[in-house]
Structure 1
Amino acid sequence: MDKIRIGFIITILGLLFLSYGCKNEEIPANKETPATTNKIKTSNIQSKDFQRVVGWIDDENVLLQLRKDRKIIFESLNVFTGKRHQIYETANVISEVIISPNRDRFLIYSAKSKDMAVLDIISMSGSLMSSKEVKPQNIEFSWNQDDQDKMFMTTFDTDWNYQVFQWDISSGNVAKLNTHSPFISWYSDNLFVSNQKATPQQDRGDLFLEDARDKSVKNLIVADIYQFAVSANTLLTTEPSKDEKSMIYNFRTIGFQSYYKYEAPRVYDELGTFFPFYDLNVEQESFLTFEPYESKKLTNHGGEFKLIKIDPKAKSAKTILELVNNEPILTSPNGEYCLYGYLFDQIIDLKTRDMTYLTQRRDKMY
């Protein structure tokens, strides 16, 4: 969903810059029942203050983005007890917030004014670790999983022209990266993979391995893929099938060898193949995604998908929920729960299949 995802980010960032100005319950212990169980608790956050849940801090806490008294407040929320703790606040206009791969810090990309934006790295304890001023622009970020002080920044203009930069957070140095694709992700502390297409709007491209230190290194990994994702020890490529009525999720080792393929119906729209939201859990090596019931042209009706969980190591898949909407998802580090929705304001218990709102439900989204 490269072009859709990028278009969504560009739209949201553009609008933002233009608008500047459960508690553990004790139960009797026995051989068949665990001593404790967790239940998700709906917090008492006022709907007028809530903006979104950014993501998981750990297995129990999430990062909240709130708005109070013309300031943006970041807090941790324990999803089981409802307890909250303020981490950081800013008066800037927020464009993007991203939690680091090891979840001990987060990036805030915000506007100080119509002519100046700032990149702030904040620790989960609330201290400012790094800050860099930049020109306001549409940026997509890719954090290095092996080195938290490295990040790719891909900028786009209204004509789809792009530039890729490597930001060394500790030194503050930003250097242009020599690559022929805006669709990139770190693969190690210095290596990265890129999906190179004839044009950014095309469905398919070829996946290459490159070295950020040496522009002469460029090795073809897989030809003719839709998109890809990288976790700590898994490379996932999404590929076309022979009859084009389905697409294939191909799970590969860090050496790029395929070890499990899962075939799902392919849906499409006016722009081509449509890719449902998914999440590749780094710690648990599980894959969660929405699957259409059949291959067809996508409509605007809700409930066209089922939520499935794939275990590539066990070579198995199971359905979590039926007749649900395709919306963003993000599993907890232990793989037991899943944030769901465009604001991540719902949690799905992947074992019980219960869905709970983290905040008081609102009739309107602002």
Structure 2
Amino acid sequence: MNKMRIGFIITILGLLFFSYGCKNEETAPGKKKEDAPVAVQTSTVNSKEFQRVIGWVDDENVLLQLKKPGKITFETLNILTNKRKKIYETKNVISEVQISPDRDRFLVYSTSSKDKAVLDVISMAGTPLFTKSIKPQNIEFAWNHDNPDKMFMTTFDTDWNYQVFQWDIPSGSITKLDATSPFVSWYSDNLFVVNQKASAQNDRGDIFLEDIRDKSVKNLIVANVYQFAVSSNIFLTMEPGETEKSMVYNFRSIGFQSYYKYKAPRVYDELGTFFPFYDLNVEQESFLTFEPYESKKLNDHGGEFKLVKIDPKTKHNDTILELVNNEPILTSPSGKYCLYGYLFDRVVDLESGDMTYLIPHRDKIY
């Protein structure tokens, strides 16, 4: 009997000690409960209303374009929590929407009739900032990275003749620019770069630096390049490789000095060299692009590319996805995610390679 009592007492003391130890472990200073894993969620957006994702508002929120009865609405969507917020609506027909480089406003180019088009600049809070009425036409827009109050507008007619204009957004002033090429991009507040080609049939040209304030300033920067891209700290040129089977992504400083070259197989079609979709992340100074597995003529088959992330600072690259289609991509500010697809309706986690549909998706049945 004494042995049984002693055993019972030991058992009770042991349970009390275990409970006390667990409680102390839970409340011990310096120990934090790990956060639950965060993942991208498929939203509850009605797929019949969804038109497209415009782009990133910040690291977690994107801007949606939705079609409601008699109007178009713009909402922000949190890709992790599914929270949505309506910020703007219009009854006009939408032609183009662009988010500013600092992501605090967006441009809506729309038409209210066959004779009237409107340029509206809206804050991310939904407040109309500026509006400008123009004649409807085919326009490409290029926002100034250093000054969001400036924008290039390149217009094309039915014969693809072009004109380049500078739009001073606050004043509404639109000034024609004497540009020698439609391939123009801002380089700073007042400087811009132009890819000047000998003819429209040439797939290579020379890059010139010009000054919006002084027409006499025209300096040759790089010769014999296919295309270029500009960010606040990287000037990227796409150039011929050592053989016809290769091409080079040449990363340059803001002073145009080359500091890293990434070689990739060259893909081509009837018009010449074909460039897969890419995105130059300003904040992270990283480059995301689709890369073919070998040099060849482009065909209509899917899965011909791999998605590659390149860090020109560390000269390191990672393959994110294999055997995927070449479709538009847009990296989040932090570089953790990218939007993918012609409607940007998918999100790729660039760390894990996981891909999630933002909009409820049902595979086609054949």
Tell me if TM exceeds 0.5.
yes
Aligned to 1:267: 267
Aligned to 2:97: 97
Aligned to 1:165: 165
Code of the aligned partner of 2:82: G
Which whole-Å deviations, capped at 9, do the CAs of 1:250-299 have from their partners, x for residues lacking one? 00000000000000000011111110000000000000000000000011
Aligned to 2:23: none
C-alpha distance in structure 2 between counterparts of 1:325 and 1:285, whole Å: 24
CA contact (8 A) 1:260 1:312 kept: yes
**1:66 match: secondary structure:** strand
Aligned to 1:136: 136
Aligned to 1:202: 202
Structure number with greater Rg is: 2
Q: Does 1:319 align with 2:343?
A: no
Q: Quick check: 76-85 or 155-164, which moved more?
A: 155-164
C-alpha distance in structure 2 between counterparts of 1:299 and 1:34, whole Å: 48
C-alpha distance in structure 1 between counterparts of 2:154 and 2:34, whole Å: 47
Q: Does 1:149 align with 2:149?
A: yes
Which whole-Å deviations, capped at 9, do the CAs of 1:99-124 have from their partners, x for residues lacking one? 00000000000011011110000000
C-alpha distance in structure 2 between counterparts of 1:34 and 1:165, whole Å: 54
C-alpha distance in structure 2 between counterparts of 1:362 and 1:283, whole Å: 35
CA distance 1:66–1:223, change in 2 (3 Å): same
Code of the aligned partner of 1:200: A
Q: Any stretches of 5+ residues in structure 2 without a counterpart?
A: 1-29
Which whole-Å deviations, capped at 9, do the CAs of 1:294-318 have from their partners, x for residues lacking one? 0000110000000000000001111
CA distance 1:206–1:33, change in 2 (3 Å): farther
Q: CA deviation at 1:38?
A: 2.1
CA distance 1:34–1:257, change in 2 (3 Å): farther
C-alpha distance in structure 2 between counterparts of 1:331 and 1:32, whole Å: 31
Which whole-Å deviations, capped at 9, do the CAs of 1:19-54 have from their partners, x for residues lacking one? xxxxxxxxxxx9999745420000011111000000
C-alpha distance in structure 2 between counterparts of 1:31 and 1:244, whole Å: 59
Code of the aligned partner of 2:303: G
C-alpha distance in structure 2 between counterparts of 1:231 and 1:33, whole Å: 40
Aligned to 2:211: 211
C-alpha distance in structure 2 between counterparts of 1:99 and 1:156, whole Å: 22
Segments of 4+ in structure 1 off by > 6 A? 30-34
Q: Quick check: 124-133 or 31-40, which moved more?
A: 31-40
Aligned to 2:15: none
Q: CA deviation at 1:200?
A: 3.0
Which whole-Å deviations, capped at 9, do the CAs of 1:342-362 have from their partners, x for residues lacking one? 000000000010000001015
CA contact (8 A) 1:47 1:362 kept: no
Q: Does 1:46 align with 2:32?
A: no
Aligned to 2:109: 109
Q: CA RMSD in A?
A: 1.6
C-alpha distance in structure 2 between counterparts of 1:298 and 1:33, whole Å: 52
Aligned to 2:301: 301
C-alpha distance in structure 2 between counterparts of 1:182 and 1:86, whole Å: 36
Q: CA deviation at 1:201?
A: 3.6
**1:38 match: secondary structure:** coil
CA contact (8 A) 1:185 1:230 kept: yes
Code of the aligned partner of 2:120: D
CA distance 1:280–1:32, change in 2 (3 Å): farther
C-alpha distance in structure 2 between counterparts of 1:304 and 1:253, whole Å: 32
Instruction: Count the aligned residue pairs.
Output: 336
CA contact (8 A) 1:276 1:326 kept: yes
Code of the aligned partner of 1:277: F
C-alpha distance in structure 1 between counterparts of 2:259 and 2:38, whole Å: 35
Aligned to 1:8: none
C-alpha distance in structure 2 between counterparts of 1:345 and 1:190, whole Å: 35
Aligned to 2:353: 353
Alignment of 1:213-252 (within 5 A): 213-252=213-252
C-alpha distance in structure 2 between counterparts of 1:309 and 1:84, whole Å: 30
Code of the aligned partner of 1:160: W
C-alpha distance in structure 1 between counterparts of 2:147 and 2:94, whole Å: 25
Which whole-Å deviations, capped at 9, do the CAs of 1:172-227 have from their partners, x for residues lacking one? 00000111010011000000001001223420000000001111100000000000
Code of the aligned partner of 1:71: K
CA contact (8 A) 1:96 1:110 kept: yes
TM-score by length of 1: 0.90
Q: CA deviation at 1:363?
A: 5.0
Aligned to 1:4: none
CA contact (8 A) 1:286 1:311 kept: yes
**1:42 match: secondary structure:** coil
TM-score by length of 2: 0.90
C-alpha distance in structure 1 between counterparts of 2:321 and 2:34, whole Å: 25
